A and B are shown apart, each in its own frame.
Chain A
Amino acid sequence: MHNADFMALLPLMVLSAACAAVMLLIAARRHHGLTLVLTLAGLAATLAVMPEAGRWMPIRITALLTLDTFALFFIALIVLATMATALLGYAYFDAWGGHREEFYLLLLIAALGACVLSMSRHFAAFFIGLEILSIALYALIAYPRRRAASVEAGIKYLVLAAGSAGFLLFGMALLYADRGTLDFSALAAGLSTPGQDRPLLLLAGLALLMVGVGFKLALVPFHMWTADVYQGAPAPVTAFVATASKSAMVALLVRLLAPLDFNTAPELFDILAALAAASMVGGNLLALRQQSVKRILAYSSIAHLGYVLVAILAAGPAFVPAVMFYMAAYTLAQLGSFGVIAMHSTAETEADSLERFRGLFHQRPWMAAVLTAMLLSLAGIPLTAGFIGKFYVILAGTQGRLWWLIITLVLTSGIGLFYYLRIIVTLFSPAQAPRTTPTAAGPAAFSGAAVLTVTTILLVWLGALPESLVRLLQHVTP
């Protein structure tokens, strides 16, 4: 490794150093606020060294990782989402009796795993990054370990993620057996020859690989875990699973598929198109009758990943910026929605059912307004980031001439509008009885409110004036 390699690795190194620092702080002195401050400082330092690392890109760091604008964008997105999660976690765990400090340590480790995923261009790095992320998430999901629902969600995630990792490993082994290398470029090279003489090992490996990726992205039919895990996990962790973990996996999928020409790999196109259509239809239909806000958002996230897959399949000139913009808009909206849920929950009682939010507007108008904005963005209403994101995805889809997928996207978005509006109607309908809301006080309330304010401002800003981000993303290639 050379000097440039170390400079390009700075974000990962600072993040690892932050993990070590937080661990040592916990060993020396347990203090909730101090741990949060150190965690945020570590994440801010990671953001601060990114321009310095950016001066060396594009660069390939050993055989495993790569740093380019694409990776840098997703690292920034993941680090910002982690910051928001940490702040939401502070309010959420403030009054909790157990050890609260390890939450931040696990969160930092999970963020590191997600960053490795978005930088990896080798199956070994892919698997290790994924395992770092998953192992940290098992513990984070079951973090309030006296609450049965969380432990159940943690065990479900553990069993299913371990199973999907098995599929992934087997797929990688088959690809390696066929191509003789674990580099991502081997996949494109193997699929670039048109014709029927496609080696069976390669196709079988690819299919198994897509099972593993589909599980992580919660695409139908690998979505079984999503609703239960989203519902059982503590609300800040749900926000992290829905945003940072998904963003990292999308980044990886784009890097894996971008060098491919789908014209010479119709099998892969068919698999992914089927997954995208099933996710859009399945996710939106399953969300319709749910009574829990977290479950609705879980199913909606399945549908959103289906939309992203449409952009990935389009593979036209606008596809990379479309995916990046969509993930940014999606991350903001999910962070905000789960942020509002987290602000109404504590580690003991999760605010989850739709009834719990009835008449929120009359008690806490700002909260209701924020949640409304987030849901409108998820639904893709103009003046929110979600609208521009969806517009961009449809643009990419038309460039790729994916008419059937676009029609599915538009129709299922219409279905989606129903359940988003259903939550909004509940927010504004009269409250049946006054209830006590567990409101955090002092710095805890401030930390949550700060997250919600920033995400709302960004959401509207990106929706009203998307040029700044669009111009930034226009020339990015993975």
Chain B
Amino acid sequence: MNALFYIAAAVAVLATLMVVTRAHAVHALLYLIVSLLAVALIFYLLGAPFAAALEVIVYAGAIMVLFVFVVMMLNLGAHSVQAQRQWLRPAMWIGPSILAAVLLAELIYVLAGSPAPAAVPVTVGPRAVGLALFGPYVLAVELASIMLLAGLVGAYHLARPETCGPTEGAA
């Protein structure tokens, strides 16, 4: 059990190190996905399958797809096909693939009915998460919405294109 945790943690740390050190955004993103998957596996091993599923769906799924889209849209141009072929050389995807394969092997091992995780006293399911979020932590949920509003308004203001010229905003 502990060995599984340490392997997943090592994968997460390694992948994150690679994210920070890659010069190319797409390669960094590939490693970031692996890192998030490793964290999801750690959640699962700790007895939080719902959090693990959310981590995969929300982070590795939705947010990463957005990242990749943005990176791809920023690189539009005549050379983009050529450039993409270059990004996908085996040397580039072999690293993330190996790390992901380690995670996959671990996942299969856990799901294939290996002895139940002994270090975990309880398994926190979706029902328990929902009850906690909208019971004692309901104010945190409400405040988190304000936090997102702050991010949204700030991003809108800072990233708005300057097409209107200096007279913009004159009421």
Q: Which residues of A contact B (CB under 8 A)?
A: 1, 9, 16, 19, 23, 29-32, 61-65, 97-102, 105-106, 109-110, 112-113, 116, 124-125, 128-129, 131-132, 135-136, 138-139, 142-143, 145-146, 154
B5 CB to nearest chain A CB (Å)? 14
- B171: Cβ under 8 A from any A Cβ: yes
Stretch of B61-69, B74-82, B123-131, B162-170 that contacts chain A: B162-170
Q: Give the complex CA separation of A116 and B144 in angstroms.
A: 12
Contact yes or no, B171 A29, CB < 8 A: yes
Q: Give the complex CA separation of A225 and B137 in angstroms.
A: 33
A130 CB to nearest chain B CB (Å)? 10
A20 and chain B: residue at smallest CB distance: B149
- B143: Cβ under 8 A from any A Cβ: yes
- B122: Cβ under 8 A from any A Cβ: no
Q: A125-B143, A129-B143 are in contact. List 15 more A-B contacts (CB 8 A).
A: A30-B169, A30-B171, A32-B171, A62-B139, A98-B168, A102-B157, A106-B157, A113-B146, A116-B143, A128-B140, A128-B143, A128-B147, A135-B147, A139-B154, A139-B155
Q: Give the complex CA separation of A62 and B149 in angstroms.
A: 23
A411 CB to nearest chain B CB (Å)? 42
Complex A-B: 11 CB contacts under 8 Å: A19-B149, A23-B149, A64-B137, A65-B139, A97-B166, A98-B168, A99-B160, A109-B146, A125-B139, A135-B154, A139-B150
Contact yes or no, B157 A143, CB < 8 A: yes
Contact yes or no, B167 A64, CB < 8 A: no
B142 and chain A: residue at smallest CB distance: A16
Question: What A residues does B146 contact at CB under 8 A?
Answer: 16, 19, 109, 112-113, 132
Q: Give the complex CA separation of A107 and B165 in angstroms.
A: 25
Contact yes or no, B153 A132, CB < 8 A: no
Q: Give the complex CA separation of A146 and B168 in angstroms.
A: 13
A65 and chain B: residue at smallest CB distance: B139
B159 CB to nearest chain A CB (Å)? 9
B42 CB to nearest chain A CB (Å)? 13
User: Given A62-B138, A131-B147, A132-B143, are A145 and B171 neighbors across the interface (CB < 8 Å)?
Assistant: no
Question: What B residues does A100 contact at CB under 8 A?
Answer: 169
Contact yes or no, B139 A23, CB < 8 A: no
Q: Is the interface of B mostly helix, strand, loop or mixed?
A: helix
Q: Give the complex CA separation of A204 and B162 in angstroms.
A: 47
Q: Give the complex CA separation of A1 and B135 in angstroms.
A: 9
Question: What A residues does B169 contact at CB under 8 A?
Answer: 30, 97-101
B43-86: contact bitstring with A at CB < 8 Å (1 yes, 0 no)?
Answer: 00000000000000000000000000000000000000000000
Contact yes or no, B140 A64, CB < 8 A: yes
A237 CB to nearest chain B CB (Å)? 12
Question: What A residues does B153 contact at CB under 8 A?
Answer: 23, 102, 105-106, 109, 139
Question: What B residues does A110 contact at CB under 8 A?
Answer: 150
Contact yes or no, B154 A125, CB < 8 A: no
User: Given A23-B153, A109-B146, are A61 and B139 neighbors across the interface (CB < 8 Å)?
Assistant: yes
Contact yes or no, A97 B150, CB < 8 A: no
Question: What B residues does A61 contact at CB under 8 A?
Answer: 139
Question: What A residues does B167 contact at CB under 8 A?
Answer: 97
B138 CB to nearest chain A CB (Å)? 7
Contact yes or no, A142 B158, CB < 8 A: yes
Q: Give the complex CA separation of A98 and B162 in angstroms.
A: 9
Question: What B residues does A64 contact at CB under 8 A?
Answer: 136-137, 139-140
